[in-house]
Structure 1
Amino acid sequence: MDSSDHLLDLIESRPDIYGLLRASFEFDVERKGCGVGLRLASGAPLEPIAGDFTGGAYFLCPEEGGRRAVVFASSEGEGGLIADDLADALEIIVGLQWRDCLSFSGAGDPEVMLASAQQLEGYLTRDNPEVAEERARVAAALSLRVLPAPDLVTRLHKAAARTDYVVATDDGDVYGPLFGEYPEPRHGGWR
Protein backbone atom coordinates (compact mmCIF):
# COMPACT_ATOMS: atom_id res chain seq x y z
CA MET A 1 0.00 0.00 0.00
CA ASP A 2 1.47 3.36 -1.00
CA SER A 3 1.16 6.51 1.10
CA SER A 4 -1.74 7.80 -1.04
CA ASP A 5 -3.75 4.63 -0.44
CA HIS A 6 -2.97 4.87 3.27
CA LEU A 7 -4.18 8.48 3.45
CA LEU A 8 -7.37 7.70 1.51
CA ASP A 9 -8.09 4.70 3.78
CA LEU A 10 -7.49 6.87 6.83
CA ILE A 11 -9.88 9.54 5.53
CA GLU A 12 -12.59 6.97 4.83
CA SER A 13 -12.16 5.37 8.26
CA ARG A 14 -12.58 8.68 10.12
CA PRO A 15 -16.08 10.11 9.58
CA ASP A 16 -15.16 13.28 11.49
CA ILE A 17 -12.17 13.98 9.24
CA TYR A 18 -14.03 12.93 6.11
CA GLY A 19 -16.81 15.36 7.09
CA LEU A 20 -14.40 18.27 7.62
CA LEU A 21 -12.59 17.61 4.34
CA ARG A 22 -15.92 17.52 2.51
CA ALA A 23 -17.68 20.44 4.20
CA SER A 24 -14.87 22.88 4.93
CA PHE A 25 -12.27 22.06 2.27
CA GLU A 26 -14.32 20.65 -0.67
CA PHE A 27 -12.43 17.36 -0.88
CA ASP A 28 -15.15 14.72 -1.06
CA VAL A 29 -13.95 11.12 -1.51
CA GLU A 30 -17.50 10.04 -2.35
CA ARG A 31 -17.46 12.20 -5.52
CA LYS A 32 -15.06 9.95 -7.41
CA GLY A 33 -17.39 9.96 -10.42
CA CYS A 34 -16.47 13.54 -11.28
CA GLY A 35 -14.05 13.84 -14.17
CA VAL A 36 -14.78 10.52 -15.84
CA GLY A 37 -13.12 10.24 -19.25
CA LEU A 38 -10.02 12.26 -18.39
CA ARG A 39 -6.36 11.31 -18.66
CA LEU A 40 -3.04 13.06 -19.01
CA ALA A 41 -2.22 14.43 -22.47
CA SER A 42 0.72 12.01 -22.48
CA GLY A 43 -1.83 9.19 -22.49
CA ALA A 44 -1.17 8.18 -18.88
CA PRO A 45 -4.31 7.20 -16.96
CA LEU A 46 -5.72 9.18 -14.04
CA GLU A 47 -7.26 7.58 -10.96
CA PRO A 48 -10.17 9.64 -9.55
CA ILE A 49 -9.95 10.01 -5.79
CA ALA A 50 -12.32 12.87 -4.88
CA GLY A 51 -14.45 15.68 -6.20
CA ASP A 52 -15.50 19.14 -5.16
CA PHE A 53 -18.89 20.89 -5.02
CA THR A 54 -18.61 22.34 -8.53
CA GLY A 55 -17.94 19.13 -10.45
CA GLY A 56 -14.16 19.39 -10.33
CA ALA A 57 -12.14 16.26 -9.67
CA TYR A 58 -8.90 15.24 -7.98
CA PHE A 59 -6.82 12.46 -9.53
CA LEU A 60 -3.76 10.42 -8.69
CA CYS A 61 -1.25 10.01 -11.51
CA PRO A 62 0.73 6.83 -12.13
CA GLU A 63 3.58 6.31 -9.68
CA GLU A 64 6.84 7.98 -10.56
CA GLY A 65 9.88 7.90 -8.31
CA GLY A 66 7.87 6.34 -5.48
CA ARG A 67 5.26 9.13 -5.48
CA ARG A 68 1.91 9.66 -7.12
CA ALA A 69 1.32 13.24 -8.22
CA VAL A 70 -2.12 14.82 -7.78
CA VAL A 71 -3.86 16.72 -10.57
CA PHE A 72 -7.11 18.63 -10.48
CA ALA A 73 -9.53 19.12 -13.36
CA SER A 74 -12.31 21.71 -13.09
CA SER A 75 -15.70 21.37 -14.69
CA GLU A 76 -14.85 24.54 -16.67
CA GLY A 77 -11.93 22.97 -18.55
CA GLU A 78 -8.89 23.96 -16.48
CA GLY A 79 -6.57 21.33 -15.13
CA GLY A 80 -3.08 20.57 -13.98
CA LEU A 81 -0.74 19.52 -11.24
CA ILE A 82 -1.33 20.72 -7.69
CA ALA A 83 1.24 18.61 -5.80
CA ASP A 84 3.78 15.82 -6.14
CA ASP A 85 1.86 13.53 -3.77
CA LEU A 86 -1.40 13.32 -1.86
CA ALA A 87 0.02 14.51 1.48
CA ASP A 88 1.37 17.68 -0.16
CA ALA A 89 -1.92 18.18 -2.02
CA LEU A 90 -3.94 17.86 1.17
CA GLU A 91 -1.71 20.39 2.94
CA ILE A 92 -2.50 22.85 0.14
CA ILE A 93 -6.22 21.97 0.01
CA VAL A 94 -6.59 22.39 3.78
CA GLY A 95 -4.23 25.35 4.14
CA LEU A 96 -5.40 27.63 1.29
CA GLN A 97 -8.43 28.50 -0.73
CA TRP A 98 -6.21 27.21 -3.47
CA ARG A 99 -8.61 27.26 -6.43
CA ASP A 100 -9.45 30.93 -5.97
CA CYS A 101 -5.79 31.66 -5.29
CA LEU A 102 -5.02 30.24 -8.75
CA SER A 103 -8.06 31.86 -10.35
CA PHE A 104 -6.93 35.29 -9.15
CA SER A 105 -3.24 34.79 -9.93
CA GLY A 106 -2.65 37.43 -12.60
CA ALA A 107 -1.78 34.64 -15.08
CA GLY A 108 0.47 32.84 -12.61
CA ASP A 109 2.27 35.65 -10.76
CA PRO A 110 3.34 34.30 -7.32
CA GLU A 111 3.08 37.75 -5.68
CA VAL A 112 -0.48 38.17 -6.96
CA MET A 113 -1.27 34.64 -5.76
CA LEU A 114 -0.01 35.47 -2.26
CA ALA A 115 -2.01 38.72 -2.14
CA SER A 116 -5.10 36.77 -3.27
CA ALA A 117 -4.45 34.07 -0.66
CA GLN A 118 -4.29 36.72 2.07
CA GLN A 119 -7.52 38.37 0.92
CA LEU A 120 -9.28 35.01 0.64
CA GLU A 121 -8.10 33.96 4.10
CA GLY A 122 -9.71 37.07 5.56
CA TYR A 123 -13.04 36.19 3.96
CA LEU A 124 -12.76 32.56 5.06
CA THR A 125 -12.03 33.35 8.71
CA ARG A 126 -14.91 35.83 8.75
CA ASP A 127 -17.31 33.22 7.34
CA ASN A 128 -15.85 30.25 9.26
CA PRO A 129 -14.13 31.40 12.49
CA GLU A 130 -13.34 27.76 13.33
CA VAL A 131 -11.23 27.15 10.20
CA ALA A 132 -7.88 27.23 12.05
CA GLU A 133 -9.12 24.60 14.49
CA GLU A 134 -10.52 22.50 11.62
CA ARG A 135 -7.18 22.69 9.80
CA ALA A 136 -5.36 21.59 12.93
CA ARG A 137 -7.74 18.64 13.46
CA VAL A 138 -7.37 17.40 9.88
CA ALA A 139 -3.59 17.86 9.96
CA ALA A 140 -3.22 15.97 13.24
CA ALA A 141 -5.46 13.11 12.12
CA LEU A 142 -3.65 12.69 8.78
CA SER A 143 -0.10 13.53 9.98
CA LEU A 144 0.03 16.62 7.77
CA ARG A 145 1.82 19.90 8.37
CA VAL A 146 0.02 23.21 8.85
CA LEU A 147 2.19 25.56 6.83
CA PRO A 148 2.09 29.35 6.43
CA ALA A 149 0.37 30.71 3.33
CA PRO A 150 3.59 31.93 1.64
CA ASP A 151 5.04 28.40 1.73
CA LEU A 152 1.83 26.87 0.38
CA VAL A 153 1.53 29.48 -2.37
CA THR A 154 5.12 28.82 -3.43
CA ARG A 155 4.51 25.07 -3.60
CA LEU A 156 1.20 25.51 -5.44
CA HIS A 157 2.70 27.93 -7.95
CA LYS A 158 5.63 25.62 -8.65
CA ALA A 159 3.29 22.65 -9.23
CA ALA A 160 0.69 24.49 -11.33
CA ALA A 161 3.41 25.99 -13.55
CA ARG A 162 4.63 22.57 -14.62
CA THR A 163 3.59 21.56 -18.11
CA ASP A 164 4.20 17.81 -17.87
CA TYR A 165 0.82 17.14 -16.25
CA VAL A 166 -1.63 18.48 -18.84
CA VAL A 167 -5.15 17.09 -18.46
CA ALA A 168 -6.98 15.90 -21.57
CA THR A 169 -10.20 14.16 -22.48
CA ASP A 170 -10.26 10.70 -23.99
CA ASP A 171 -11.10 12.50 -27.28
CA GLY A 172 -7.82 14.45 -27.10
CA ASP A 173 -9.18 17.86 -26.09
CA VAL A 174 -6.65 19.52 -23.79
CA TYR A 175 -7.61 21.39 -20.63
CA GLY A 176 -6.35 24.92 -20.07
CA PRO A 177 -3.97 25.87 -17.25
CA LEU A 178 -5.13 26.36 -13.68
CA PHE A 179 -3.86 29.96 -13.58
CA GLY A 180 -6.50 32.64 -14.09
CA GLU A 181 -5.57 35.93 -15.73
CA TYR A 182 -7.17 38.34 -13.26
CA PRO A 183 -5.36 39.63 -10.14
CA GLU A 184 -8.64 40.10 -8.24
CA PRO A 185 -12.37 39.74 -8.80
CA ARG A 186 -13.42 41.86 -11.80
CA HIS A 187 -16.54 43.46 -10.36
CA GLY A 188 -15.53 45.48 -7.33
CA GLY A 189 -12.16 43.92 -6.64
CA TRP A 190 -11.31 42.75 -3.12
CA ARG A 191 -13.69 44.35 -0.64
Structure 2
Amino acid sequence: MSESDDLLRRIESDRTIADLLAWPGDFDIDRRDPVEDLRLPNGRPLHPIAGDAGGGTYFLVGDPGDADRPVLYADSEGSAGLIAADLAEAVTLVACFPYWRDLDRDATDADVAELEEIFREDGDEFDAARAELLAALGITPPPREDAVARLHAAVARTEPGHVPSAPGNPPYEVLFHY
Protein backbone atom coordinates (compact mmCIF):
# COMPACT_ATOMS: atom_id res chain seq x y z
CA MET A 1 0.00 0.00 0.00
CA SER A 2 1.14 3.54 -0.67
CA GLU A 3 1.44 6.29 1.94
CA SER A 4 -1.55 8.01 0.32
CA ASP A 5 -3.65 4.86 0.72
CA ASP A 6 -2.61 4.56 4.38
CA LEU A 7 -3.44 8.21 5.08
CA LEU A 8 -6.82 7.91 3.39
CA ARG A 9 -7.66 4.88 5.56
CA ARG A 10 -6.60 6.85 8.65
CA ILE A 11 -8.88 9.76 7.70
CA GLU A 12 -11.77 7.38 6.96
CA SER A 13 -11.37 5.64 10.31
CA ASP A 14 -10.98 8.76 12.47
CA ARG A 15 -14.23 10.75 12.53
CA THR A 16 -12.60 13.66 14.37
CA ILE A 17 -9.99 14.12 11.63
CA ALA A 18 -12.61 13.62 8.90
CA ASP A 19 -14.88 16.25 10.49
CA LEU A 20 -12.03 18.74 10.91
CA LEU A 21 -10.98 18.24 7.30
CA ALA A 22 -14.58 18.95 6.26
CA TRP A 23 -14.44 22.19 8.26
CA PRO A 24 -12.37 24.22 8.17
CA GLY A 25 -10.61 22.34 5.35
CA ASP A 26 -13.59 21.95 2.98
CA PHE A 27 -12.29 18.44 2.24
CA ASP A 28 -15.30 16.25 2.99
CA ILE A 29 -14.86 12.49 2.62
CA ASP A 30 -18.64 12.09 2.75
CA ARG A 31 -18.96 14.00 -0.58
CA ARG A 32 -17.30 11.65 -3.03
CA ASP A 33 -19.77 11.81 -5.89
CA PRO A 34 -18.14 13.80 -8.69
CA VAL A 35 -20.29 16.09 -10.83
CA GLU A 36 -19.15 14.20 -13.95
CA ASP A 37 -17.53 10.90 -14.84
CA LEU A 38 -14.03 12.19 -15.55
CA ARG A 39 -11.24 10.48 -17.41
CA LEU A 40 -7.62 11.34 -17.95
CA PRO A 41 -5.94 11.32 -21.37
CA ASN A 42 -3.08 9.25 -19.94
CA GLY A 43 -5.58 6.52 -18.98
CA ARG A 44 -4.77 6.50 -15.27
CA PRO A 45 -7.83 5.89 -13.09
CA LEU A 46 -9.32 8.58 -10.87
CA HIS A 47 -10.59 7.64 -7.41
CA PRO A 48 -12.80 10.28 -5.74
CA ILE A 49 -11.70 10.75 -2.13
CA ALA A 50 -13.48 13.94 -1.00
CA GLY A 51 -15.60 16.83 -2.13
CA ASP A 52 -16.07 20.44 -1.22
CA ALA A 53 -19.09 22.64 -0.54
CA GLY A 54 -18.93 24.14 -4.04
CA GLY A 55 -19.35 20.78 -5.80
CA GLY A 56 -15.68 20.16 -6.49
CA THR A 57 -14.08 16.76 -6.10
CA TYR A 58 -10.63 15.62 -4.97
CA PHE A 59 -9.28 12.51 -6.69
CA LEU A 60 -6.33 10.22 -6.04
CA VAL A 61 -4.78 9.44 -9.41
CA GLY A 62 -3.73 5.86 -10.12
CA ASP A 63 -4.47 2.53 -8.58
CA PRO A 64 -4.26 1.72 -4.85
CA GLY A 65 -0.72 0.69 -4.06
CA ASP A 66 0.85 2.78 -6.85
CA ALA A 67 3.90 4.64 -5.58
CA ASP A 68 2.93 7.76 -7.56
CA ARG A 69 -0.57 8.95 -6.53
CA PRO A 70 -0.93 12.69 -7.08
CA VAL A 71 -4.12 14.50 -6.06
CA LEU A 72 -6.29 16.09 -8.74
CA TYR A 73 -8.98 18.63 -7.90
CA ALA A 74 -11.86 19.25 -10.32
CA ASP A 75 -14.33 22.03 -9.60
CA SER A 76 -17.95 22.16 -10.70
CA GLU A 77 -17.23 24.93 -13.22
CA GLY A 78 -14.98 22.94 -15.56
CA SER A 79 -11.53 23.67 -14.12
CA ALA A 80 -9.15 21.06 -12.77
CA GLY A 81 -5.55 20.50 -11.90
CA LEU A 82 -3.09 18.53 -9.88
CA ILE A 83 -2.80 20.24 -6.49
CA ALA A 84 -0.31 17.98 -4.73
CA ALA A 85 2.21 15.22 -5.34
CA ASP A 86 0.39 12.95 -2.88
CA LEU A 87 -2.40 12.90 -0.32
CA ALA A 88 -0.17 14.03 2.56
CA GLU A 89 0.78 17.16 0.65
CA ALA A 90 -2.88 17.79 -0.31
CA VAL A 91 -4.08 17.35 3.27
CA THR A 92 -1.36 19.71 4.49
CA LEU A 93 -2.52 22.27 1.94
CA VAL A 94 -6.21 22.10 2.86
CA ALA A 95 -5.51 21.92 6.60
CA CYS A 96 -3.14 24.89 6.66
CA PHE A 97 -4.67 26.94 3.85
CA PRO A 98 -8.35 25.96 3.42
CA TYR A 99 -8.68 28.92 1.06
CA TRP A 100 -6.00 27.45 -1.24
CA ARG A 101 -8.09 28.10 -4.38
CA ASP A 102 -7.51 31.82 -3.79
CA LEU A 103 -3.72 31.52 -3.45
CA ASP A 104 -2.37 32.68 -6.77
CA ARG A 105 1.36 33.02 -7.32
CA ASP A 106 1.29 36.64 -6.21
CA ALA A 107 -0.51 36.00 -2.89
CA THR A 108 0.96 38.13 -0.12
CA ASP A 109 0.82 37.85 3.65
CA ALA A 110 -1.84 40.59 3.56
CA ASP A 111 -3.92 38.48 1.13
CA VAL A 112 -3.63 35.47 3.43
CA ALA A 113 -4.60 37.58 6.46
CA GLU A 114 -7.69 38.80 4.61
CA LEU A 115 -8.67 35.25 3.60
CA GLU A 116 -8.21 34.02 7.16
CA GLU A 117 -10.39 36.84 8.46
CA ILE A 118 -13.16 35.69 6.11
CA PHE A 119 -12.91 32.19 7.63
CA ARG A 120 -13.00 33.65 11.14
CA GLU A 121 -16.22 35.49 10.23
CA ASP A 122 -17.75 32.10 9.32
CA GLY A 123 -17.01 30.80 12.80
CA ASP A 124 -15.12 31.95 15.84
CA GLU A 125 -13.70 28.47 16.20
CA PHE A 126 -11.65 28.59 12.95
CA ASP A 127 -8.26 28.98 14.62
CA ALA A 128 -9.00 26.36 17.29
CA ALA A 129 -10.38 23.86 14.75
CA ARG A 130 -7.39 24.30 12.44
CA ALA A 131 -4.98 23.93 15.36
CA GLU A 132 -6.76 20.74 16.46
CA LEU A 133 -6.59 19.34 12.92
CA LEU A 134 -2.90 20.14 12.54
CA ALA A 135 -2.16 18.53 15.91
CA ALA A 136 -4.21 15.42 15.10
CA LEU A 137 -2.35 14.98 11.82
CA GLY A 138 1.04 15.99 13.22
CA ILE A 139 1.40 18.75 10.62
CA THR A 140 3.73 21.68 11.03
CA PRO A 141 2.39 24.41 8.76
CA PRO A 142 4.79 25.24 5.94
CA PRO A 143 5.53 28.86 5.14
CA ARG A 144 2.91 30.33 2.82
CA GLU A 145 5.51 30.87 0.09
CA ASP A 146 6.47 27.19 0.15
CA ALA A 147 2.86 26.01 0.07
CA VAL A 148 2.02 28.33 -2.84
CA ALA A 149 5.14 27.23 -4.73
CA ARG A 150 4.30 23.52 -4.24
CA LEU A 151 0.66 24.10 -5.26
CA HIS A 152 1.62 25.89 -8.46
CA ALA A 153 4.37 23.36 -9.26
CA ALA A 154 1.75 20.60 -8.99
CA VAL A 155 -0.68 22.50 -11.21
CA ALA A 156 2.11 22.99 -13.76
CA ARG A 157 2.43 19.18 -14.00
CA THR A 158 -1.26 18.87 -14.98
CA GLU A 159 -0.78 19.23 -18.73
CA PRO A 160 -1.03 17.20 -20.83
CA GLY A 161 -1.70 13.87 -19.13
CA HIS A 162 -3.80 14.99 -16.16
CA VAL A 163 -6.34 17.31 -17.82
CA PRO A 164 -9.62 15.47 -17.27
CA SER A 165 -12.66 15.41 -19.50
CA ALA A 166 -16.08 13.85 -19.36
CA PRO A 167 -17.11 11.62 -22.27
CA GLY A 168 -18.40 13.76 -25.12
CA ASN A 169 -17.20 17.02 -23.54
CA PRO A 170 -14.10 19.14 -24.06
CA PRO A 171 -11.23 18.91 -21.58
CA TYR A 172 -11.42 20.93 -18.39
CA GLU A 173 -9.53 24.21 -18.12
CA VAL A 174 -6.40 24.01 -15.98
CA LEU A 175 -6.59 25.69 -12.56
CA PHE A 176 -4.61 28.92 -12.28
CA HIS A 177 -4.01 28.90 -16.04
CA TYR A 178 -1.86 31.93 -16.79
Aligned to 1:78: 79
Aligned to 2:33: 33
Q: How does 1:33-112 map to 2 (within 5 A)?
A: 33-62=33-62, 66-96=67-97, 97-101=99-103, 105=104, 110-112=105-107
Report the TM-score when normalising by structure 1: 0.79
Q: Please point out which of 166, 169, 177 is paired with 2:166.
A: 169
Can you give the 5+ residue segments of structure 2 that lack an aligned partner in the other structure?
Answer: none
What letter matches 2:100 in structure 1?
W
Aligned to 2:139: 144
Deviation at 1:41, TM superposition (A): 2.6
Does the CA-based 8 Å contact 1:135-1:146 persist in structure 2? no
- Deviates most, 124-133 or 19-28: 124-133
Aligned to 1:15: 15
Q: Identity over the aligned pairs, expressed in percent?
A: 40
Distance 1:92 1:62 in 2: 20
Distance 2:169 2:108 in 1: 30
Does the CA-based 8 Å contact 1:113-1:153 persist in structure 2? no
Deviation at 1:29, TM superposition (A): 0.7
Deviation at 1:66, TM superposition (A): 1.8
Q: Please point out which of 147, 155, 159 is paired with 2:154.
A: 159
Does the CA-based 8 Å contact 2:2-2:66 persist in structure 1? no
SS at match of 2:131: helix
Deviation at 1:116, TM superposition (A): 3.8
- Deviates most, 69-78 or 15-24: 15-24
Can you give the 5+ residue segments of structure 1 that lack an aligned partner in the other structure?
Answer: 182-191
Does the CA-based 8 Å contact 1:46-1:62 persist in structure 2? yes
Distance verdict in 2 for CA 1:118–1:40, change over 3 Å = farther
Does the CA-based 8 Å contact 2:96-2:134 persist in structure 1? no
Report the TM-score when normalising by structure 2: 0.84
Deviation at 1:52, TM superposition (A): 0.6
Does the CA-based 8 Å contact 2:41-2:164 persist in structure 1? yes
